[in-house]
Homo-oligomer: A and B are copies of this chain.
Amino acid sequence: MSINAFNPTPRTLMGPGPSDVHPQVLQALSKPTIGHLDPQFVAMMDEVKALIQYAFQTENPFTIAVSAPGSAGMETCFVNLVEPGDKVIVCRNGVFGERMRQNVVRVGGEAILVEDSWGAPVSVDKVAAALAAHPDAKFLAFVHAETSTGACSDAKALCALAQQHDVLSIVDAVTSLGGVELRVDEWGIDAIYSGSQKCLSCVPGLSPVSFSAKAVAKLEARQTPVPSWFLDQTLVMGYWAGDGKRSYHHTAPVNSLYALHESLRLLQNEGLENAWARHRAMHEQLKAGLTELGLEFVVEEQYRLPQLNTVYIPQGIDDAKVRTDLLNNFNLEIGAGLGDLAGKAWRIGLMGYAARQENVLLCLAALKQAIK
């Protein structure tokens, strides 16, 4: 069996992630690999930490990049913080809320579901009622930006409720980080995770995570060991400590961290608020064009994520054929529906480096031809 070198045809990535990676990030990715305990690398890791703190708008000393994709970032929060028997209020309005529930169950926690329909945001009122009904709850877990639907929930209001009821908040910011307003310290978020491959425009494979002092205290007070060795943050903290000691835990994904460093640097140079505004502006253009094409949004206007536009597939249109046409004729990837929306909707991403004028124009022109 002879296997040739892989030379992918470049694509424009306007699905739910991975998104277009900035050329400078790909360039950083392929810089020479050095040791994960090399002083040069350790100094770069300190910068990565500072840059993640900036992106999250937090001063949490416990701020790291988990050496695996966003799903592992989610698991990092649950396996470290939730102990067997802990009651967790889990908000489910799409695929990722359900995944949170599964994480709670697997660590032996008790999940209290707050349900909202697909495409709707998490209901602040329902969460308030659930917190009142379960005074023994220890956590409130919800998804800020539901990647399966494109709905944005009011993280600020939900975290304020969590603080009132003295429960810790666990927030999924995989699709929100860098694309919409997110302020970890100001909003009082206790545990948050994201992914490298959405609005940060980095390659997939890393998950920025941050814990508040209260979350760290909960971790340190655990009665049972963290069930995962790989994700045990009591061990990983030694490596990210920034005290110059860097005790070995596992081999860091060196080159992927070069890429994350560069992508976060690009975000800092642009400025967070500017990045949010750019996503919003590109969304407005795309929305105007999609509406002109007669496509209807799944999510009500006020809850729409600018970086993830979910529209119903028009009657009589062959979902798979359109997506294949876009890919084969225009090298353009848009996302299929997921879960309840499979076969019913498309998810059009405008994430990070993909949120630019030329992508909006290409997408609208190509879609117009494909659905003719």
Contacts and interface: CB of A to CB of B under 8 A. Distances in A.
Interface string A228-256: 11100000000000000000111111111
A197 B248 CA distance: 16
Contact of A250 (B30, B70, B79, B251): B70
Nearest to A44: B6
Contacts of A70: 250-251
B8 A34 contact: yes
Question: Interface of chain A, helix or strand or loop or mixed?
Answer: loop
A5 B264 CA distance: 11
Nearest to A232: B106
Interface of A: 1, 3, 5-11, 13, 15, 17-18, 20-21, 24, 26-36, 38-41, 44, 47, 50-51, 67-72, 74-75, 79, 99, 102-103, 105-107, 195, 197, 203-205, 225-230, 248-256, 258-259, 261-262, 265, 268, 327, 333, 338
B28 A6 contact: yes
Contact of A30 (B27, B225, B261, B265): B27
A18 B106 contact: no
A44 B7 CA distance: 10
Contacts of A6: 28, 31, 44, 47, 258, 261-262
Nearest to A39: B327
A233 to B, nearest CB: 14
A27 B26 CA distance: 10
Nearest to A75: B230
Contacts of A27: 30
Given A8-B31, A106-B227, A225-B106, A251 B69 contact: yes
